[in-house]
Structure 1
Amino acid sequence: MIPDQHAPATPAADKFDDEHYPGYTMGRAAEMLGTSQNFLRSLDEAGLITPQRSAGGHRRYSRHQLRIAARVRHLVDEGTAIDAACRIISLEDQLHEAQRRNASPQPSD
């Protein structure tokens, strides 16, 4: 049977577009980032990234989390300590969120 190209996407297919879907194992995530699994564990321990866990307890990462990890890795590669890099990324994200909120139209009283 040939699948209908015009049929609606399956719920599983929708996950490919979800940047928060935990589709990457720790090994694959480390490989993609060019780093070690210990590096990813340290981000979890620092509380910057909290990967979801599989039924067997294995960490699973989303594309969003991998982008954060790549930002930390860049700082670490430049000589920043990992704990400081995690703090920098956290503060940058807080600043960007505050700027986004301030740029949004405010309701008038």
Structure 2
Amino acid sequence: MTADNPLNRIDDDDYPAYTMGRAAEMLGTTPAFLRAIGEARLITPLRSDGGHRRYSRYQLRIAARARELVDQGTSVEAACRIVILEDQLEEARRINEELRRRPADRSDKADA
């Protein structure tokens, strides 16, 4: 397989493999919902050579979380902000855990 072979991207969560119609179908929503969360800057779909929106699996997971919140009565804008904050919190927790697992820096011990 060459580097340009699409099969090389089959497990890539960031590869924009899904059309707007297919993404909406998978999420059980409408293309208008996907456009709305794009306008709210929750996700930015990539564009095909023809200008059509394409979504990755990662983006679909984010959109699915926003849809859950909207289904519970949250406005699209608020749902997008919540999802962004949840993502930031998860990243901060990941970094914090990574820092906890590192051995203490030897220069800190010398200062003590």
Question: Normalised by the size of structure 2, how large is the TM-score?
Answer: 0.85
1:67: which partner in 2?
61
1:29: which partner in 2?
23
Match of 2:16, SS?
Answer: coil
Q: What residue ranges of structure 2 are gaps of 5+ in the alignment?
A: 108-112
RMSD: 1.6
- Name the aligned partner's letter for residue 96 of structure 2: N
Q: Give the whole-Å Cα distance in 2 for the aligned partners of 1:77 and 1:83.
A: 13
Match of 2:54, SS?
Answer: strand
Identity of aligned residues (%): 61
Q: 2:6 aligns with which of 9, 12, 16?
A: 12
Question: Normalised by the size of structure 1, how large is the TM-score?
Answer: 0.87
- Name the aligned partner's letter for residue 53 of structure 1: R
Give CA deviations for 1:22-64 in whole Å, capped at 9, x if unaligned: 0000000001111000000011100110000011111000000
Q: 2:95 aligns with which of 70, 88, 101?
A: 101
Alignment of structure 1 residues 36-51 onto 2, 5 Å: 36-51=30-45
- Name the aligned partner's letter for residue 45 of structure 1: E
Give 4+ residue runs of structure 1 displaced > 4 Å after superposition. none
Pairwise CA distance, 1:9 = 7.9
Q: Give the whole-Å Cα distance in 2 for the aligned partners of 1:9 and 1:56.
A: 24
- Name the aligned partner's letter for residue 100 of structure 1: R
1:86: which partner in 2?
80
State the number of aligned residues: 102
**Which has more radius of gyration?**
2
Structure 1 or 2: larger helix share?
2
Q: Give the whole-Å Cα distance in 2 for the aligned partners of 1:30 and 1:99.
A: 31
1:55: which partner in 2?
49
- Name the aligned partner's letter for residue 83 of structure 2: I
